[in-house]
Structure formats: structure tokens, C-alpha cells
């Protein structure tokens, strides 16, 4: 796995006092400590409470997310599902359902989607490695097979035993900015065709796609462009021959592997990682069986 060497970013620049590397925001008293990595920052001082978060906290954490891409909340009590849902809903919905609250093809996916996923007693889902281990998860943006962009993802570590695999992140904004000009021009107006890989293919469940997104997509709030699409959900680039589409997707994958700033997160118990799911992709290796690795997905209303 290649790793681009880029110095860690300094802490969030606005309204801060204190000395490096940890900086405290005067207004919200949140503290920030950049990771020893190309991106990512540890945040302390969040108070979980009922109801939505303060607008100043949302604004500040949004700025921090734009700059650092991955926020690691560390050394804090675990929030109840209701409190976590209320807090993070202030940043946009965590599960991108259709207006009636149901994913169109949900009934086709519930059986397979729950592999290794258990309902937590107070809501949310737990992903448990257990006796079976877990298959490798390739680079992806969560829920990229759905029509709306999921802007943030929230994942909490409950247990990270010896031998548990880390979660890796990579910065696809920088990949987009490093693309050669002629590739950018060629892909500028192109749309990717996405399918949910857990569903029957279009031959068995006839449909044109589950979602279409620009290959070089602009974040709905910031406008910053990223190379978008998961290795296993973007099947084709519309408007290209099948051969062209295949070779272009393969080229983009190689380019991203070679150039993406990369960070591997070894979870500490209780860490809650919140990341920009639009411009940051994540993956993990195959998990050997018999290792304690329990993760909690804070997704608001869970699927299925
Ligand atoms: Fe994921």
C-alpha cells in the first residue's frame, strides 16, 4: 500500500488559543490535536446531551472536518444512541433513505446486509468479528450506491482486541486535485453508474442503476471536488464504451493507490471516528476469526 508523505496539518486556525500541538477553541472549549498523519485530528471536550447540538459547535466541527477530514473523538463517555443520533443529525442525516423512510430495494437486501451486524440494545448496530471473522472491505464511500450523498459517517469502537484490524482512510480530494489536466477535462462531465453489490444484478432485478453520481463530484456544501465511487459499487462510466469505461476505472484506481494521502487508524477503546464520507474513502483488511473487534455504527435509523 503506497502512502504519500505529507506533513500533518496544523490545528484548526479560527478562534483558537493555547500552544501547539493541542489547541483549544475559546468559544466552545473543544480541544484539537493533529494526528501524526497527513490528515485527521483528535478532538476532546464534546458533551453529549439530549436534543440537537449548539449551532456554534456544528459550525466549528464542520470547519474542523473540512480541514482535517477525519475527527477522532477520544477519552469521552460513550453516548446513548438517541444522544448520538440527535448530535450528529445536526450535520445531516446519517442514513440516506428516500422521503418515505425506506430505501427502494430494502426488502431485497435485508437478509445479506445483516451479516455480522447486531442491533444494539439501545438502538444502532454493532458489527462483531466473532468466530467467523470478517471478509476484507475494499476502498469505499459508505452508501455510495444510494442516490443522495451521505456527507458524514460515524463509527465507534466498543472493543479492539489484540489482532483486530485497523481502519484505513484516504483523501480523495487530493487525488482529484492531482489528476493530470487532460484526465480532469475528460472526466469533468462524466457520471458513474452505481449498483448496490448486495442486491441481485440488473438481469434478475431489472433496473438501469441504483444511483448515478459524477465521477469527479463536488461536495454539496463546500463545492470541493473529489474522485467519487467505491471499488465495488461503481460499475461503469456513462457515455463511454464498455472497454473505455473499464480501463478508465482501472486507471483511476491505480492513480488513487499511488497518490492518495493515507492514514491507518488503530482504534483505542471508545474512539469515535467521524469522517467526511464524501471526500474520504475507508477500508479494512480481512479479520481473522476469534478476535474481539466490536464496532458501533451510528447511523440514525438503521437499515432493515
Ligand atoms: Fe464503510
Predicted confidence at residue 24, as pLDDT, reads: 74
Strands 125-128 and 272-276: unpaired
Coil vs helix vs strand at 78: coil
Contact 206/231 with Cβ under 8 angstroms?
no
Per DSSP, 130 falls in state G
User: Who surrounds ion ligand 1 at CB < 5 A?
Assistant: 142
149 alpha carbon – ligand 1 mean position (Å): 14
Name the CATH superfamily for 16-161+267-297: Clavaminate synthase-like (3.60.130.10)
- pLDDT at res. 302: 38
Instruction: Name the residue ranges covered by the structural domains of the chain.
Output: 16-161+267-297, 172-259
Ligand 1 mean position to 32 CA, how many Å? Answer: 25
Terminal C-alpha separation, the chain: 35
What does 247-301 look like in DSSP terms, one character per residue? HHHHHHHHHHHHH--EEEE-PPTT-EEEEETTTEEEEEPPBPTT--EEEEE--SS
Mean pLDDT value across residues 244-269: 95
How much is the pTM?
Answer: 0.85
DSSP, res 134: B
In three-state secondary structure terms, 41 is strand
Q: What is the pLDDT at residue 240?
A: 95
What integer pLDDT is reported at residue 286 of this predicted model? Answer: 87
Residue 180's φ and ψ, nearest 5 degrees, are -60, 145
Separation of 169 CA from ligand 1 center, angstroms?
Answer: 10
For residues 153 and 70, the answer to whether their CB atoms sit within 8 Å is no
CB < 8 Å & 24+ apart, contacts of 199-203: 199/105, 199/108, 199/109, 200/108
- Dist. CA 142 → ligand 1 center (Å): 5
The dihedral built from the CA positions of residue 234, 285, 119 and 131, taken in this order, carries a sign that is: positive
The 3-state DSSP class for residue 199 equals: coil
Q: Please check the confidence at residue 190 and state whether its pLDDT lies above 60.
A: yes
Higher per-residue confidence, 40 vs 103:
40
pLDDT of residue 256: 96
**204: Cβ contacts below 8 Å, ≥ 6 apart:** none
Amino acid at each position: 500500500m503506497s502512502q504519500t508523505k505529507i506533513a500533518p496539518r496544523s490545528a484548526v486556525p479560527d478562534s483558537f488559543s493555547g500552544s501547539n500541538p493541542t489547541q483549544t477553541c475559546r468559544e466552545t472549549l473543544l480541544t484539537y490535536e493533529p494526528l501524526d498523519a497527513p490528515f485527521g485530528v483528535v478532538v476532546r471536550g464534546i458533551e453529549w446531551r439530549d436534543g440537537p447540538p449548539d449551532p456554534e459547535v456544528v459550525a466549528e466541527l464542520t470547519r474542523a472536518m473540512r480541514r482535517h477530514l477525519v475527527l477522532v473523538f477520544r477519552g469521552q463517555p460513550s453516548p446513548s444512541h438517541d444522544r448520538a443520533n440527535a448530535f450528529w443529525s445536526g450535520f445531516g442525516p446519517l442514513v440516506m433513505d428516500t422521503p418515505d423512510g425506506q430505501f427502494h430495494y430494502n426488502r431485497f437486501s435485508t437478509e445479506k446486509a445483516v451479516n455480522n451486524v447486531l442491533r444494539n440494545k439501545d438502538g444502532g448496530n454493532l458489527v462483531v468479528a466473532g468466530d467467523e471473522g470478517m471478509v476484507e472491505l475494499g476502498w469505499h464511500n459508505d452508501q455510495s450506491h444510494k442516490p443522495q450523498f451521505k456527507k458524514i459517517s460515524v463509527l465507534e469502537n466498543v472493543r479492539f482486541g489484540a489482532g483486530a484490524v485497523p481502519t484505513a482512510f484516504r483523501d480523495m480530494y487530493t487525488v482529484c486535485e492531482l489528476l493530470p489536466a487532460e484526465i480532469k477535462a475528460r472526466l469533468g462531465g462524466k457520471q458513474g453508474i452505481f449498483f448496490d453489490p448486495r442486491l441481485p444484478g440488473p438481469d434478475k432485478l431489472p433496473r438501469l442503476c441504483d444511483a448515478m453520481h459524477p465521477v469527479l463530484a463536488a461536495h454539496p456544501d463546500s463545492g470541493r471536488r473529489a474522485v467519487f465511487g467505491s471499488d465495488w459499487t461503481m460499475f461503469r462510466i456513462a457515455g463511454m464504451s464498455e472497454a473505455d469505461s473499464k480501463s478508465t476505472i482501472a486507471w483511476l484506481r491505480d492513480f488513487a493507490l499511488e497518490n492518495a494521502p493515507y492514514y491507518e487508524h488503530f482504534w483505542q477503546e471508545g474512539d469515535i471516528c467521524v469522517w467526511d464520507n464524501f471526500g474520504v474513502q475507508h477500508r479494512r483488511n480481512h479479520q481473522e476469526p476469534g478476535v474481539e473487534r466490536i464496532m458501533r455504527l451510528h447511523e440514525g435509523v438503521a437499515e432493515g
